[in-house]
A and B are shown apart, each in its own frame.
Chain A
Amino acid sequence: MKTRVLGLVALVAVVTVTLVALFVVPPDRNQGDAQRIMYPHVASAWLAYLSFGVTALAGIGWLWKRDLRLDAVAHAAAEIGVMFTAFAIWGGMMWGRPIWGVFWQWEDPRLTTTALLLALYVGYLLLRRLTDDPERRATRAAIVGIVAAIDIPIVHFSVEWWRGLHQTATIGSPDRVLNPAAPGIFVGTLLGTLGAFTAAWLYLMIRRYQLACAELAREEARRVDLLMSARAAAVR
């Protein structure tokens, strides 16, 4: 019941901020309407990082406490994180085309880092599907999730360097919008989008976690069934 209320609140909030971002906020002076992509884009990127942080922490928790529910949390976060990562990349490309003239800009460290992030966690999800035993799966996934999280800052740092050790910040960086000089309505819309998206994330997390627990229970039931029928066959 509480989860349903949260879902409803998140839905209303996301719709509201979308309408505000599309129709209420004035277009950016330099970037025009394309700048409106920034609101969901930044929110998605933040949730991607949040998700992968949760995956790594839940992985550490599993290795420590050996509670499969923690693995369910890690699984839920990784799946939702991959979705938001893909959404962030898609939004970035849609924004890049009118502003930069190209979908893909190798000069931008965030874009390339995020693409590697997607690869890391798609690998994580595939690895999960390839292991049947729940405890083994949890251990392998936890380790991959932890190492991936360690790798993210190194990737970001090295790509930032790679772009050119002497070059200053890229033109039209989305961060510029966040500077204190930006008018309040832009900042307010961005913060509102962050809040609304985070509420939606929380709702998705709870639902996906419940689903993961149900999946675990079903796997367990099937294993017991197999065991019982094998025993019955042996007795007969």
Chain B
Amino acid sequence: MMTTLRTEARIALAVARKDALAELRGRQATVSTLFFAAVVLLLFGFALGPDAARLAAAAPGMLWLAVVFAGILAVNRLHLLETDDGALEHLALYPVSRRAIYAGKALGGFAVMLLLGVVVLGAAGVLFAVDVTAALPPLLATVVLGAAGVAAVGTFYAGMTVRLRAREVMLPLLMLPVLAPLLLGAVKATSAALAGDPFDELGAWLQLLVAFDIIMIVAGAATYGYLLEDG
């Protein structure tokens, strides 16, 4: 049992490392995703501004919408990478557990999402005059949990839509409604953290995020194999 888990963890790390290497050598994808998120933040500012108080109040919502929108691009990219030269078929041919492949892809997605979350958090702090340094630990915890949730759900749906004709529409259409609880939880946790948690509700929202992440990771790991097989 222990050895299987260890082998699967090694496989997952190898898959994630492969994605990270490809990303580092190509690089454009992550950078353009980050810029896309920044542009979304700017446009939100134009749509709601220039009243500073109003922008600060709406900052958590704008922050997480930017992360989720940019996240669609990020997870899609990680699977698109595999279709270029039939790499996904090769991945499916490896005699290793599908769970491990899913974990590896999700881990790669998580790394990108984490970077995205931290950068967007900083950008939102600057753009909307919100002091993020005052409550950094709970904010970072929210970013980690939110990034994990988007990566878990996104990896799974991107794996499904990557071979579809209308991929660009179907990925967000399938993914966004599923992500709704994550969006609620992350926005609420962020506003609670920024306000200094006056109603003592931060813990509850973080718990919701943890539960969402666990359920979606289990669901993704259990079903990803079927997606890979039907290639």
User: Which chain A residues have a beta carbon within 8 Å of chain B's beta carbons?
Assistant: 63, 116, 119-120, 122-123, 126-127, 130-131, 135-136, 139-140, 142-144, 146-148, 150-151, 154-155, 157-159, 161-162, 165-166
- Contact: B223 with A123, CB < 8 Å? no
Chain B residue numbers with a CB within 8 Å of A119 are 173, 176-177
Task: Kindly provide the distance from the CB of B175 to the nearest chain A CB, expressed in whole angstroms.
Answer: 9
Q: B185 within 8 Å of A by Cβ?
A: yes
A116, A130, A143, A158: which contacts B164 (Cβ < 8 A)? Answer: A130
Residues of B within 8 A of A120 (CB): 177-178
Query: Which of B160, B177, B219, B227 lies at the interface centre, i.e. has the most chain A CB atoms within 10 A of its CB?
Result: B177
Are A143's CB and B181's CB within 8 A?
A: no
Check if B80 is an interface residue, CB within 8 A of chain A. Answer: no
* Complex-state Cα separation, A144 to B161, whole angstroms: 11
| A56 CB to nearest chain B CB (Å) | 12
Given contacts A143-B223, A147-B219, A161-B208, contact A135 B174 (CB under 8 A): no
- B160's contact among A143, A146, A155, A166, by CB below 8 Å, is which? A143
Asked whether any CB of chain A lies closer than 8 Å to the CB of B215, the reply is yes
The docked-state distance in angstroms from the alpha carbon of A135 to that of B226 is 11
Which B-chain residue is minimally distant from A140 (CB atoms)? B160
Interface of A is mostly: helix
CB-nearest residue of chain A relative to B176?
A119
The reply to whether B177 and A162 contact each other, CB–CB distance below 8 Å, is: no
Does B212 belong to the interface (CB within 8 Å)?
Answer: yes
Whole-angstrom CA separation of A162 from B173 in the bound complex: 23
Task: Give the complex CA separation of A150 and B174 in angstroms.
Answer: 14
> Which residue on A lies nearest to B174, using beta carbons?
A123
Q: Could you list 7 examples of A-B contacts with CB < 8 Å? A: A130-B166, A139-B227, A140-B227, A154-B211, A154-B215, A157-B181, A159-B184
Quick one: CB contact mask for B148-183 with A, threshold 8 Å, 1 for yes? 000000001000100011100010011011101100
